[in-house]
Amino acid sequence: MLRELLVTLMDCRGTNGNYLFGKGRFVLRGFSADPSFELAKCTVIKDSKTTTTGCAHGLFLKRYNSRGIWRTLKRSVQLPRAYECLAAAIRLRQAGIATPLVLLASRYYLITEALPEDTVFLNRKPELAADAADVIAKMHDSGIYHGDLNLRNIYFLDGKYGFIDLDSAKIFPKGIPKTLRRRDLARLISSCAIEYLWRGKPLSDAELDSMTDALASRYREKTGIDTAGPELRARIRYLIRRKRRH
């Protein structure tokens, strides 16, 4: 955890002083807002045991909930997820990859810019997923593992792909292990398969294998790393079965 915190602090300080740190929070220079007050004004999108999210006045707000004794204790010793989101967002933007600008990151709150209404999330157009292989390869080569690469967390705007929901993101300055690269790709492909299933147009085994081979091939062209094979296919089918059970 200490290493990750140091990486986070180094990332934030490497932005030419754009972020100020004090009272346990990183704040973009010039931004001023009370998170709890802003969230109270928001239209709530999600309210669960883990998070409450909402949008208002061009802002996206997320509160990390600690409901229950065990969750409260766990959160008290963990590196705040908002810090990790901030570090990953900085790395993505430095690599030229789109992601909403983080305005504030504290133990319990994350505030970013809200995406415009014409943003297309890939769960609305899963056919765009094949072309996302290029930006995923770029993200991985920049040392960023997303960790929850489903269609709802990838968007298309102004001719570019971007990523949101970086709660599970990890930074690997020396390179991402092949197993984690495969996990991100498997998460994306299984998410596509589930989306078509929900639409009443389930993919056949041959169609799923064709999609897997095409995306893995394009990823290999960009990174030189071959993730294809039985391990990738087994992971995809495991994720599909698990999602269908839930």
The 3-class secondary structure across the chain, one letter per residue, is: CHHHHHHHHHHHHCCCCCEEEECCEEEECCCCCCHHHHHHHCEEEEECCCEEEEEECCEEEEEECCCCHHHHHHHHHCCCHHHHHHHHHHHHHHCCCECCCEEEECCCEEEEECCCCCCEECCCCHHHHHHHHHHHHHHHHCCEECCCCCHHHEEEECCEEEECCCCCCEECCCCCCHHHHHHHHHHHHHHHHHHHHHCCCCCCHHHHHHHHHHHHHHHHHHHCCCCCCHHHHHHHHHHHHHHHHC
Of residues 11 and 206, which shows the higher confidence score? 206
Q: How many Å separate Cα 243 from the centre of its chain?
A: 19
Tell me which residue of 93, 79, 78 sits closest to 18, measured CA to CA: 93
Judged against a pLDDT cut of 80, whether residue 7 lies above it is answered with no
Judged against a pLDDT cut of 90, whether residue 56 lies above it is answered with no
Judged against a pLDDT cut of 70, whether residue 167 lies above it is answered with yes
Calpha distance 46→158 (Å, rounded): 27
Task: Considering the chain, tell me which residue range(s) the CATH 1.10.510.10 domain(s) occupy.
Answer: 120-245
Q: What is the pLDDT of residue 15?
A: 59
Judged against a pLDDT cut of 70, whether residue 94 lies above it is answered with yes
Q: What is the pLDDT of residue 13?
A: 58
pTM for this entry: 0.89
Tokens of 221: 């062209």
Q: What is the pLDDT of residue 1?
A: 43
120-245: CATH number: 1.10.510.10
Q: What is the pLDDT of residue 178?
A: 96
